[in-house]
Structure 1
Amino acid sequence: MKHYGHGLVLGGFSPPHAGHHHLVRTARERCDRLTVLVCGISAESLPLADRVAWMREIHPDALVVGAVDDSPVGLWDAVPERVDAVFVAEPYGESYGDELGRRFGAESVTVDPDRTRFPVSGAAVRADLAGSWDFLEPPVRAALTRRVVVLGAESTGTTTMALALADHYRRRGGVWARTRYVPEYGREYRALKLAELRAERPGATRSDVTFRSSDFPVIARRQAELEEEAARDGSPVLVCDTDAFATTIWHERYTGTASAETGEVAAHGRQHLWLLTDHRGVELENAEGTEGTAPRDAERLRPWMTARFLTQLAHTGRRTAVLSGPHEERLAAAVAAVDALLAESGHLADPLPERR
């Protein structure tokens, strides 16, 4: 099998899938050096920078570059180094590969044009994300997962709802059986603080734990990290018991002021839907899975927190559904809101026709 000095793989990778990766890995094995040129235009549903980042993570042994093709000459100057072979895998086949070879003054090599190794295409992924999920690599899955946040005031059933919602989608089977649930890191953080306090005061309880402003950015960052980890290894939907945005409200609740640092973490979140658990009709109880009593001011602050969540969710333009009534009604409303989110395909719109 012929070996080459410098190879080139060119494509839109919208999004990159197993067929693309097979093409790149095959080209890399047959070349001393490989350049992967990710092509895009200024207005696309999957930003060029994201696709370049995904390909760089998945193919660290190749040089991955991006080029915006808003002009007729666009791409040809993006690879200044001489190219010995251009690798293609499109079913429209040889004429396309030959044209690329002519443009770059290189030999054209076609790899698995009938997609027998990996029967998938970008169009198939965009048309049926769940059906194509196993053809996607972790960073792509993390970006395309629809992230749902359950949030609410003290003792309003957020954890109960998040667990029930994740279980609902797991019961659908198939790829949905891998639906992940991200627990509230603040609970773990509080437990750590309580353990430290008990080392000094053995009789300390949950209500004795105090939070400083500096605690909240730590909680927000770890919550975001746990979410990213879960999104890389789950189904097309991820259920999160709170998020960094909710942590900004908890900062206000405990300190009486806003936290710019926590807000900065929240600003970089990739969530898509927030489900707010109403405090009305839910009795205040001890925090789920923890000992001790709820903070003495929790009952007084629950209405304030619900209102504050609603105000800030609306102010920041976050897609929101309010869950009220008995648990069964709340779960039905949550499922309806998530299903509506999953039914939308705008985040994976077909790219504009490419220039040949």
Structure 2
Amino acid sequence: MSLHPQGLVIGKFYPPHAGHRHLIATAAEGSERLAVVVLGNRFENIGLTDRVRWLTAEFDETHVTVIGMSDDSPEDYHSDEIWKAHTELVRLALKARGITTVDAVYSSEEYGTELAAAFGAVHVTVDAARTAYPVSGTRCRDDLTAAWRSIIKPARQDMAVRIILVGAESTGTSTLTTALTGHYRNRYPELVDVPEFGRQYTYDKFAAARTRDPGAVLADLVWNAADFTAIGERQNEMENEAAARCPLVIADTDSLATTLWERFYLGDGSHGSYRALTQLPHRDIYLITDHEGVSFEDDGWREGEHRRAEMTEWFREELTREGHSWILVSGDHDRRMATATAIIDQIIAQQNRFTSPPWATRTVLAGDL
């Protein structure tokens, strides 16, 4: 089968989903070179830059070029003048990348034939009935949770709401994390636990020490930078795995907290966990559990009772220094839950609020009728 020298796909990709991936993959297979033009407007609250970045990450083939272009022109498929406004934007987006001819336009939309004619290209229809992937941007925006697995993975990583709980030892961090996870799992059945990996790592490290020396005690454990590298990187992985499954992530600590625990055990000169910090995913908010008013419970694995106030201050200082949004949650459990859910509910509402201009069309699939 001969390949088209230059293929073209256009779309809003608001947000990019499995149907878009199928369209682009099909076009990439049929073209020697493929340009994907992302048309975003000022009325949409997912940035054009983000959509370009997500699609670029999804399609890292050297012959696929993703191009972002602002398009604030109204939509009117019955107006020749409006069609010209749109096609000229696409033409200039391509020209800026040195693309002056188009041989094939790939599309699942009715306008594909007219768009191809504007470029003197053939129109290749791809799954116009949406039977291969029954999903649309409209459906994703209408019910983000239900459509979550259909959105491409790079977009899910950035779009997920991430709530990170941190705190000194025995300040109720895990208790609050568990309660919040249970509270929101009614709304998000795919919500998974993101526990503190450092605790499991400690269990395993101590078990290995006891295998070597049955008389070893917890205080005998020798920590090094490599331990904190492993903890920080796995903590990031667990969080990202959770984001791939669900649009809400509630995590009991993170790799930024790992850097503070490395300082706690090894001092300021150790930076094993800092590699994980360079890959820290985006955060919506940190909740710091206050040590005041919480009795220290020694479960046999804790060593920092006398340094709880210091650790709490470290968290406040570091999050402030890094420019993160954080709230100190204090009081009894009910008060802490009320504080946490009040802000989380508003962040979720903001995440689910997609804006579009009044002329934007809605894609209706067979299952939506």
Query: By the TM > 0.5 criterion, same fold?
Result: yes
Q: Which residue of 2 aligns with 1:323?
A: 329
Letter in 1 for 2:343: A
Q: Which residue of 1 aligns with 2:34?
A: 35
The alignment yields a C-alpha RMSD, in angstroms, of 3.5
Shift of 1:257: 1.4
Letter in 1 for 2:329: L
Q: Conserved in 2, the CA contact under 8 Å of 1:41 and 1:68?
A: yes
CA distance in 2, matches of 1:86, 1:346: 32
Secondary structure of 1:147 counterpart:
strand
Query: Residues 86-101 of structure 1: matches in 2 within 5 Å?
Result: 86-90=105-109, 93-94=110-111, 97-101=113-117
CA distance in 2, matches of 1:138, 1:322: 32
Letter in 2 for 1:206: L
Letter in 2 for 1:153: A
Letter in 2 for 1:66: V
Letter in 2 for 1:313: L
Shift of 1:177: 0.3
Q: Deviations over 1:47-104 (max 9, x none)?
A: 66654554456557794312243695532334738543212233xx33x64134422x
Change (3 A) 1:107 1:266: same
Q: Conserved in 1, the CA contact under 8 Å of 2:12 and 2:40?
A: no
1:10 and 2:26 correspond = no
Q: Conserved in 2, the CA contact under 8 Å of 1:150 and 1:239?
A: yes
Q: Which residue of 2 aligns with 1:108?
A: 123
Letter in 2 for 1:75: A
Letter in 2 for 1:274: Y
Change (3 A) 1:27 1:149: same
Letter in 2 for 1:12: K
Letter in 2 for 1:266: L
Q: Which residue of 1 aligns with 2:83?
A: none
Q: Which residue of 2 aligns with 1:312?
A: 318
Q: Which residue of 1 aligns with 2:262?
A: 251
1:163 and 2:181 correspond = no
Q: Conserved in 1, the CA contact under 8 Å of 2:106 and 2:126?
A: yes
Letter in 2 for 1:98: E
* Bigger mean CA offset, 142-151 vs 250-259: 250-259
Question: Aligned match of 2:93 in 67, 70, 75?
Answer: 75
Q: Conserved in 2, the CA contact under 8 Å of 1:151 and 1:158?
A: yes
Question: Aligned match of 1:262 in 273, 276, 288?
Answer: 273
CA distance in 1, matches of 2:23, 2:57: 16
Secondary structure of 1:283 counterpart:
coil
1:140 and 2:155 correspond = yes
* Bigger mean CA offset, 42-51 vs 58-67: 42-51
* Bigger mean CA offset, 141-150 vs 37-46: 37-46
* Bigger mean CA offset, 247-256 vs 107-116: 107-116
1:239 and 2:250 correspond = yes
Letter in 2 for 1:195: A
- Count of equivalent residues: 338
CA distance in 2, matches of 1:316, 1:61: 35
Shift of 1:178: 0.3
Q: Deviations over 1:32-61 (max 9, x none)?
A: 656251425799865666545544565577
Shift of 1:203: 1.9
Q: Which residue of 2 aligns with 1:301?
A: 307
CA distance in 2, matches of 1:38, 1:259: 46
Change (3 A) 1:221 1:349: farther
Shift of 1:165: 1.4
Give ranges in structure 1 of 5+ residues lacking alignment: none
Shift of 1:274: 0.9
Q: Conserved in 1, the CA contact under 8 Å of 2:52 and 2:67?
A: no
Q: Conserved in 2, the CA contact under 8 Å of 1:155 and 1:284?
A: yes
Q: Deviations over 1:155-189 (max 9, x none)?
A: 122222222211211123xxx10012211111122
Q: Deviations over 1:120-141 (max 9, x none)?
A: 5435534543353243233332
Change (3 A) 1:214 1:111: closer
TM-score by length of 1: 0.79
1:207 and 2:219 correspond = yes
CA distance in 2, matches of 1:305, 1:330: 19
Q: Deviations over 1:242-261 (max 9, x none)?
A: 11111122122223316555
Question: Aligned match of 1:220 in 227, 232, 240?
Answer: 232
Q: Which residue of 2 aligns with 1:64?
A: 64
1:271 and 2:283 correspond = yes
Shift of 1:144: 1.2
Secondary structure of 2:327 counterpart:
strand
Change (3 A) 1:245 1:337: same
Secondary structure of 1:338 counterpart:
helix
Identity of aligned residues (%): 36
Q: Conserved in 2, the CA contact under 8 Å of 1:162 and 1:239?
A: yes
Q: Which residue of 2 aligns with 1:186?
A: 198
Change (3 A) 1:208 1:101: farther
CA distance in 1, matches of 2:168, 2:18: 43
CA distance in 1, matches of 2:62, 2:137: 21
Change (3 A) 1:237 1:150: same
Q: Which residue of 1 aligns with 2:84?
A: none
CA distance in 2, matches of 1:109, 1:79: 23
